[in-house]
Amino acid sequence: MKEALLPHPVRFEKLEMVGGNYIGDPTLLTLPWKRVGVFASRSTDPAMGILREQWAMSKGRKRCCIIGTFHSPGECEILYHVLKFGGSAVWLMGCALPAELPNFCKGAIRKGRLLMVSCFNREHHSYATARYCAQLADRYSSSLAIWSMKEGGLVQSIYNRAKNNGKRVEVF
């Protein structure tokens, strides 16, 4: 009878953050698998919303792992659908962990499919904390998916750096 292979212990220090808090499975961020960085600017275009939803459901069914700040309504929608359809996610927060989690987050955490990382101990994110977390999402992703990129915005600088480094980037 073959002996079952157990995962090696993972130290959270590999995240290279001091003073951060997290809830969920840290291996979602530390294991060497592909993660798709997700960035969605605010858009009121209904067609864009349908495209994001279809993309997220597809990634969930394929058991993909996404990573992002999930601050904008579009990003939150992507997070919800990826988790609902079986995928996993790493949520980098520019503020403290919330006192109460949505039910879909609780279920995903219990199943080891969500890691929420709080990089800061503050009630609300700021532009600076959101920028930091967005840059972490880019750093820990193997490819990017971007919706409604605005000229000269934060996401455009992440897009430019990713393209210059040869990272795969989908723009919708």
Domain with residue 103: its CATH number is 3.40.50.450
Residue 8 lies in a domain: no
- Could you tell me the pLDDT band of residue 13, with boundaries at 50, 70 and 90? very low
On average, the pLDDT of the chain sits at: 86
Work out the average pLDDT over 45-49: 83
> What pLDDT score does 127 carry?
87
Which of 18-22, 66-70, 153-157 is the least confident region?
A: 18-22
Residue 11: pLDDT over 50: no
Smallest CA-to-CA distance from 80 within 34, 21, 38 is with 38
Which of 59-68, 95-104, 155-164 is the least confident region?
A: 95-104
- Could you tell me the pLDDT band of residue 60, with boundaries at 50, 70 and 90? very high
Segment of 10-19, 44-53, 114-123, 157-166 carrying the highest mean pLDDT: 157-166
Residue 63 near residue 87, CB atoms below 8 Å: yes
Exposed e or buried b per residue across 51-87, where buried means at least 16 C-beta atoms within 10 angstroms of its C-beta: ebeebbbebbeeebbbbbbbbbebbbbbbbbbbebbb
Residue 30 lies in a domain: yes
Q: Which residues contact 133 (CB under 8 A, 6 or more apart)?
A: 69, 92, 93, 94, 119, 125
Residue 12 lies in a domain: no
Residue 29 lies in a domain: yes
Instruction: Note down the domain range covering 67.
Output: 19-171
> What pLDDT score does 17 carry?
55
Residue 91 near residue 65, CB atoms below 8 Å: no
Residue 86 lies in a domain: yes
Alpha helix (H) residue ranges in the chain:
27-30, 46-61, 73-84, 103-110, 127-139, 154-164
Residue 50 lies in a domain: yes
Number of domains the chain contains:
1
Residue 8: pLDDT over 50: no
Q: How far is CA 26 from CA 39, 103, 146, 148, 171, in A?
A: 21, 20, 25, 30, 28
Residue 80 near residue 104, CB atoms below 8 Å: yes
Residue 57 lies in a domain: yes
- Who wins on pLDDT, 10 or 133? 133
Residue 42 near residue 72, CB atoms below 8 Å: yes
> What pLDDT score does 151 carry?
83
Residue 77 lies in a domain: yes
Residue 85: pLDDT over 50: yes
